[in-house]
Amino acid sequence: MKKILLLILPVLMLTSCITITEDITVNSDGSGSIKVAVNLGKIASQAANQPSSFDLSIVGKIKEFPKKAEAILKNINGISNIIAVADDEKGIYSIALNFKNSKSLNKGIYKLFGKNKSIFAPDFVKITKHGFKKINMGPMMKKMVTMQEKTDKAFSDLMFPFIDFKSTYNFPTTVKKVSNIKAVLSTDKKTITTKYTLEELIKVDFNFGLKARF
């Protein structure tokens, strides 16, 4: 396994990294839009041309995700304008949609995890008239990574520094307060950005949740 990783890591460094981006826009009435994209870069095409021992199962799952997500989300009330993209040439795989409110967004997120949102289940995202809250995804990421390590022999913590998570949050008015110490506020104070590596999410004891008042 270590020999495999030594060959994979130069590819990761050559392509900079795997970048997962999340763009959320909140409107004044609580509706909004979200786009989640995974940029595999050259890894998308190179994985397909390598021997089976090099073919990370997670790459195949990422490629399939946009269409699977579209099929799951298209019948959820309050979710509309779904756009699924799987671009093998550029290595970009994304899903974008509009949501009526945070209730419909949370329902969609739970559906993607194969579950139904109950009144007792926590909200991943909560939007109020002057507030936004996103729960700490660190613990969930740790569980998902642990499961991936058990099923994919080539998936290792040596890859974690090369996987980036970037989030952008756009609000209708200026942001007055942000709870996350790593959040960066734009000049006009209407946009918040955060950036972490998978290594930080898994190994650093930090609340990656975000609260904003606007």
How many domains does the chain divide into?
Answer: 1
pTM as predicted: 0.84
pLDDT of residue 17: 74
140: domain range?
2-213
Question: DSSP letter string over 167-191?
Answer: EEEE-SS---EE--TT-EE-TTS-E
pLDDT of residue 53: 45
Give the span between the Cα atoms of 38 and 95, in whole angstroms: 9
**CATH code at position 30:** 2.60.40
User: CB burial class (10 A; 0-12, 13-18, 19+) of residue 115?
Assistant: exposed
Contact between residue 48 and residue 192 where contact means Cβ atoms under 8 Å apart: no
pLDDT of residue 50: 52
Q: Tens digits of per-residue pLDDT, 27-66?
A: 999 999 999 999 987 666 655 555 444 445 677 888 999 9
List the single range of 17-21, 46-50, 67-71, 150-154 with lowest mean pLDDT: 46-50
Give the span between the Cα atoms of 109 and 69, in whole angstroms: 10
pLDDT of residue 142: 74
Alpha carbon distance, N-terminus to C-terminus of the chain: 49
Average pLDDT, the chain: 84
Given a cut of 50, whether residue 80 has pLDDT beyond it is: yes
Q: Tens digits of per-residue pLDDT, 163-182?
A: 899 999 999 999 999 999 89
Given a cut of 90, whether residue 155 has pLDDT beyond it is: no
Question: What is the token pair recorded at 5?
Answer: 């990783």
Helix residue ranges, H only, 52-178 = 57-73, 102-112, 138-151
